[in-house]
């Protein structure tokens, strides 16, 4: 049992082994938050409620002046009833009122978390459901809290029902709100851009509102739906951290607000910037799921908790615990310029290296000679591939390799048969020529007929060809936000698009259970937990430069397990930034994820091909660590001329330490790395360096890393317990 209700105190205790989350029903029926953090005793916490009349405010009608919702910590803050901070929910009623009065009605405790309507979510057990009721407007709000005994995790979402006889509008429907009793916090977010996604950034909180969000229709590479709130003294290894992540692939917002009381409120969910949802009588709206993780041991423990949770309860179980394909992808080898012979030559060239999957990227369909035409026409380009896909697929299979195919089904080019037949299927605003991105338009997935079309064309290809792997791309973000089918309900478009996208994923991923789906959006521009529910790995960034990848993969690892980061060895000079890094370094960094290759192997000499085999053999040796291991980030590559990460098996018998020194320094001081997560008293053999030492020695005295005198040198250590 993780959820307790004390009837006398009217208090709920949500407890995991190490955490407590406590709130009560107060005298007025409001849910008054009391505590979230390290596990504490199950007792009366009302002494901590600090009610004072702060002046120039307001209080609950008929109650003492100090009883303002603005001085309570609230579980489900709404607008207009004396709480001036950010709301979790906002309504617009038929009579013009925006003020709701939600009070406790009842609660129940379920053994198993119910699935969310139309959206992916984390699997969970014991769940508290609290119903709040607004009798004036006949609105019911159910708040869901799922608790894990073994993991410091709480899952939250809400269901809002219109039980009245007239329509109402939801202007904001966030997934959670958490109030904290002081304001001494930093925040860490994952901002970025295409080719440099998720660069971790920490900043102090001060009075006002700190917001991370996306308005692009996708979770985006510009900001990830993740926010950590940390104590000022928190580090990678110590101090309190609260991590928030949203299981959602569209517009999101997280807000951290410090107001007059010097307390902190964190709220988050679907971005309400361009959102409104009409609830007709009887309708229900479900918010996406928010994941809340508490760590008393810094960012590292927070990340390991997210990783364990997602590997066990989120990522597609058909693939999460299995070897991922080791891919050779033709994109950077050929771009659009290929024919059957070239593709077969790539397959031939990697025979015997251990690469087990060939992925045919963009350009195989329609009139796709470049990126200005063809999207939407999902039939083979017979000029380029006169015998279709079959000879290439058969060739790969004959060589013992699987075959993967690239799609970008959410998009259409104006220069395509699909667009010529259905121009209205592309998202556009009335009377305006729609903005393009990479010369393409976005199909309106809020419309059933468009989703059905996509399901049918992709299904037909998967049915008629022996395809083992799909790379699902999405290369622009949304503009011209209007849907002909939604009319005045236009502000529902972005969320309906996301729901349509999930419907397509459900149909295809369940319809073709043997197919391994990789997610991609110009690289990592839609990397979120909902995508991971469907796609066990996501192309982390179009930037495959080993040096920049250290920061990208470091930031991505804040909440997403390494097995989900798709990482390729690519050519030098790097196609994105022109940098030349050693071959071995490119492999070492690509081994910190689901590894693969993205270069023209037909141009490699026998030694370079032999090196691929050695790299793949090495990867096989550490793959279990990538799939199941605990991650320790040994330093922050954005702060130092050093990147060091370690993976440790759950039983602490095996570890890998990967270290890169970006810039060579002559006559440099010794660079030491300090492994973590080993058993103090066990003896370990460090293969490189031929060292046999106790865990305590390695972790406290460290290992001196002998870098080669060149930029971007990498050293890896394979560590094994010997007794």
- Which residues have a catalytic role annotated? 473, 542
Among positions 338, 406, 502, 632, the unique one binding ligand DGJ when judged by CB under 6 A: 406
Map the footprint of ligand DGJ across residues 239-298, applying CB under 6 A. Answer: none
Q: Nearest distance from residue 598's CB to ligand DGJ, in Å?
A: 8
Q: Which is nearer to ligand DGJ, 142 or 542 (CB)?
A: 542
Q: Which is nearer to ligand DGJ, 370 or 692 (CB)?
A: 370
- CA-CA distances (angstroms) from residue 281 to 160, 278, 285, 568? 12, 10, 12, 51
Secondary structure class of 299 (helix, strand, coil)? helix
Report the distance separating Cα 22 and Cα 9, nearest Å: 11
Q: Nearest distance from residue 520's CB to ligand DGJ, in Å?
A: 5
Q: Which residues contact 532 (CB under 8 A, 6 or more apart)?
A: 310, 314, 315, 316, 519, 538, 560, 564
520 counts as binding ligand DGJ under rule CB under 6 A: yes
Among positions 523, 536, 596, 695, the unique one binding ligand DGJ when judged by CB under 6 A: 523
User: Sheet containing 713-721: which strands, arranged edge to edge?
Assistant: 630-633, 643-648, 654-661, 713-721, 683-686, 691-694
Candidate ranges 374-382, 520-528, 612-620, 689-697; the one touching ligand DGJ (CB under 6 A) = 520-528
Report the distance separating Cα 557 and Cα 307, nearest Å: 8
Phi, psi of 150 (to 5 degrees): -90, -20
Q: Nearest distance from residue 515's CB to ligand DGJ, in Å?
A: 17
Candidate ranges 66-74, 248-256, 461-469, 515-523; the one touching ligand DGJ (CB under 6 A) = 515-523
Q: Which is nearer to ligand DGJ, 4 or 379 (CB)?
A: 379
| Three-state DSSP string of 623-636 | HHHHHHCEEEECCC
Q: Which is nearer to ligand DGJ, 409 or 523 (CB)?
A: 523
Q: Nearest distance from residue 371's CB to ligand DGJ, in Å?
A: 6
Secondary structure class of 178 (helix, strand, coil)? strand
Q: Which two tokens stand for residue 254?
A: 């997280």
542 counts as binding ligand DGJ under rule CB under 6 A: yes
Map the footprint of ligand DGJ across residues 549-568, applying CB under 6 A. Answer: none
**Sign of the alpha-carbon torsion through 102, 108, 114, 120:** positive
Q: Which is nearer to ligand DGJ, 192 or 523 (CB)?
A: 523
Q: Nearest distance from residue 379's CB to ligand DGJ, in Å?
A: 18
Among positions 134, 272, 361, 645, the unique one binding ligand DGJ when judged by CB under 6 A: 361
Report the distance separating Cα 178 and Cα 525, nearest Å: 28
Q: Nearest distance from residue 201's CB to ligand DGJ, in Å?
A: 23
Quickly tell me which residue has 């592309």 as its tokens: 426
Map the footprint of ligand DGJ across residues 468-507, applying CB under 6 A. Answer: 473, 475
Candidate ranges 54-62, 96-104, 262-270, 517-525; the one touching ligand DGJ (CB under 6 A) = 517-525
Phi, psi of 133 (to 5 degrees): -135, 130
Judge whether 33 and 74 are in contact, CB under 8 Å: yes
Q: Which is nearer to ligand DGJ, 406 or 425 (CB)?
A: 406
Q: Residues binding ligand DGJ: what is the number (CB under 6 A)?
A: 11
Relative to beta strand 537-539, strand 516-519 is parallel
Q: Which two tokens stand for residue 77?
A: 């803050």
Secondary structure class of 117 (helix, strand, coil)? coil
Report the distance separating Cα 227 and Cα 204, nearest Å: 13
Cβ-proximal residue to ligand DGJ, closest one: 362
Q: Which two tokens stand for residue 708?
A: 């080669």
596 counts as binding ligand DGJ under rule CB under 6 A: no
Binding mask 304-343 vs ligand DGJ (x if CB under 6 A, - otherwise)? ---------------------------x------------
Q: Which is nearer to ligand DGJ, 18 or 528 (CB)?
A: 528
Residues binding ligand DGJ (CB under 6 A)? 331, 361-362, 406, 473, 475, 520, 522-523, 539, 542
């Amino acid at each position: 049992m993780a959820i307790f209700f004390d009837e006398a105190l009217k208090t709920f205790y949500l407890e995991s082994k190490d955490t407590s989350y406590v709130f009560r029903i107060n005298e007025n029926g409001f849910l008054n938050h009391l505590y979230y953090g390290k596990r504490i005793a199950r007792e009366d916490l009302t002494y901590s409620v600090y009610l004072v009349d702060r002046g120039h405010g307001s209080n609950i009608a008929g109650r003492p002046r100090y009883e303002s919702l603005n001085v309570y910590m609230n579980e489900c803050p709404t607008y207009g009833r004396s709480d001036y901070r950010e709301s979790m929910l906002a309504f617009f009623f038929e009579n013009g009122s925006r003020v709701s009065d939600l009070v406790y009605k009842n609660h129940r405790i379920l053994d198993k978390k119910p699935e969310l309507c139309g959206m992916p979510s984390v699997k969970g057990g014991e769940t508290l459901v609290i119903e709040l009721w607004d009798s004036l407007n006949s609105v019911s709000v159910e708040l869901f809290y799922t608790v894990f005994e073994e993991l410091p995790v709480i899952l939250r979402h809400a269901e809002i029902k219109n039980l009245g006889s007239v329509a109402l509008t939801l202007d904001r429907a966030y997934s959670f709100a958490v109030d904290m009793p002081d304001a001494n916090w930093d925040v860490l977010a994952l901002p970025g851009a295409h080719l440099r996604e998720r660069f971790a950034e920490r900043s102090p909180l001060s009075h006002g509102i700190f917001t991370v969000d996306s308005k692009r229709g996708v979770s985006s590479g510009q900001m990830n739906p993740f926010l950590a709130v940390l104590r000022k003294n928190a580090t990678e290894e110590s101090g309190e951290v609260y991590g928030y992540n949203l299981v959602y692939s569209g517009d999101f917002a997280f807000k951290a607000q410090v107001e007059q009381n010097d307390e902190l409120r964190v709220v988050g969910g679907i971005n309400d910037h361009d959102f409104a949802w009409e609830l007709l009588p009887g309708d229900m709206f479900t918010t996406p799921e928010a994941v809340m993780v508490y760590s008393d041991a810094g960012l590292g423990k927070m990340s390991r908790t997210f990783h364990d949770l997602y590997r066990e309860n989120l990522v597609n179980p058909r693939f999460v615990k299995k070897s991922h394909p080791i891919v050779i992808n033709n994109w950077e080898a050929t771009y659009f310029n290929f024919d059957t012979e070239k593709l077969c030559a790539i397959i031939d060239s990697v025979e015997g290296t251990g690469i087990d999957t060939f992925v045919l990227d963009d350009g195989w369909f329609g009139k796709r000679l470049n990126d200005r035409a063809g999207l939407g026409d999902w039939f083979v380009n017979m000029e380029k591939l006169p015998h279709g896909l079959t000879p290439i697929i058969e060739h790969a299979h004959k060589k013992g390799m699987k075959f993967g195919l690239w799609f970008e089904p959410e998009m259409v080019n104006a220069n395509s048969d699909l667009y010529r037949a259905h121009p209205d299927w592309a998202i556009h605003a009335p009377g305006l020529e729609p903005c393009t991105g990479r010369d393409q338009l976005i199909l309106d997935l809020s419309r059933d007929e468009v989703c059905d079309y996509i399901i049918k064309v992709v299904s037909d290809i998967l049915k008629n060809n022996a395809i083992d792997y799909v790379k699902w791309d999405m290369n622009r973000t949304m503009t011209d936000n209007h849907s002909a089918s939604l009319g005045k309900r236009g502000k529902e478009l972005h969320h309906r698009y996301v729901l349509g996208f999930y419907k397509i994923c459900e149909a295809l991923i369940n319809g073709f259970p043997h197919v391994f789906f990789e997610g991609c959006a110009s690289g990592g521009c839609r990397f979120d937990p909902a995508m991971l529910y469907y796609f066990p790995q996501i192309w982390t960034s179009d930037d495959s430069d080993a040096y920049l990848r250290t920061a990208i993969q470091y930031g991505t690892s804040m909440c997403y397990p390494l097995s989900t980061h798709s990482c390729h060895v690519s050519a030098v000079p790097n196609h994105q930034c022109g940098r030349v890094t050693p071959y071995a370094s490119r492999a070492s960094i690509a081994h910190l994820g689901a590894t693969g290759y993205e270069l023209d192997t037909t141009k490699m000499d026998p030694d370079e091909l032999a090196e691929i085999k050695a790299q793949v053999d090495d990867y096989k040796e550490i793959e279990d660590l990538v799939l199941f291991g605990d991650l320790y980030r040994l330093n922050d590559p954005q702060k130092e001329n050093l990147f060091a990460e370690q993976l440790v098996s759950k039983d602490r018998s095996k570890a890998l330490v990967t270290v890169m020194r970006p810039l060579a320094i002559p006559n440099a001081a010794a660079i030491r790395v300090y492994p973590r997560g080993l058993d103090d008293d066990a003896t370990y053999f460090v293969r490189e360096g031929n060292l046999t030492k106790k865990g305590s020695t390695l972790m406290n005295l460290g290992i001196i890393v002998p870098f080669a005198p060149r930029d971007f040198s990498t050293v890896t250590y394979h560590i094994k317990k010997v007794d």
